[in-house]
Homo-oligomer: A and B are copies of this chain.
Amino acid sequence: MTEAIRTAVFEELAAVGYARMSIEGIARRAGVGKTAVYRRWRSKLQLVLDLVSAIAVQGLPAPDTGTLEGDLRLLYEVTSRALRHPVASQVIPDLQAEAARNPEIAGAMQKALREGQASVVSGIVAAARARGEIRTEIDGELALDVISGPLYWRAVVIRGPKPPKGYLESLTRATTAALKAL
């Protein structure tokens, strides 16, 4: 039943957003009573924090192709697919909006990010450093911004259409050159 409630939270978040989401609405969607939800989570905030943490733990696969360019190409393939999922493209901006005024959600999002995207990226950067593909003194934070920003901007900010054929290859080439110039 916990799984049914989790799924309902995702659907409800995508449909109405965090601010308008209610425990009643979640219970209705999950086909359970309100008390069944309250027995597991004290509030909708707890529910959402639990959900965000669960996603972070799943994480992304860490690419290990032997070259910076190969690793980035794989990362972009996986990230692009994840970001284009309809639930992600509605739920992420929503949680981000909440994070702007709720420190608990902001903290959970930051933690999820560090344990997910950021840890995979720092693995890729560390491997490239070790192979001598990029300078050892490179700023890890800046590398994260350069690697992760463009796809996120396109999928979540611009809400652009599916990237055209060749887009991910070109982005990989551009990002590789950017890191090597640092």
Contact = CB atoms under 8 A, between A and B. Distances in A.
Interface of A: 14-17, 19-20, 89-90, 93-94, 96-101, 106, 110, 113, 139, 141-142, 144-146, 148-154, 156-160, 167, 170-171, 173-182
Copies of this protein in the assembly total 2
Contacts of A96: 93, 96-97, 156-157
A150 B170 CA distance: 17
26 contacts: A15-B101, A17-B101, A90-B101, A93-B100, A94-B100, A96-B96, A96-B97, A97-B97, A99-B159, A100-B159, A110-B159, A139-B167, A139-B170, A141-B154, A141-B160, A142-B150, A144-B158, A145-B150, A145-B171, A146-B171, A146-B174, A153-B153, A170-B182, A173-B182, A174-B182, A175-B178
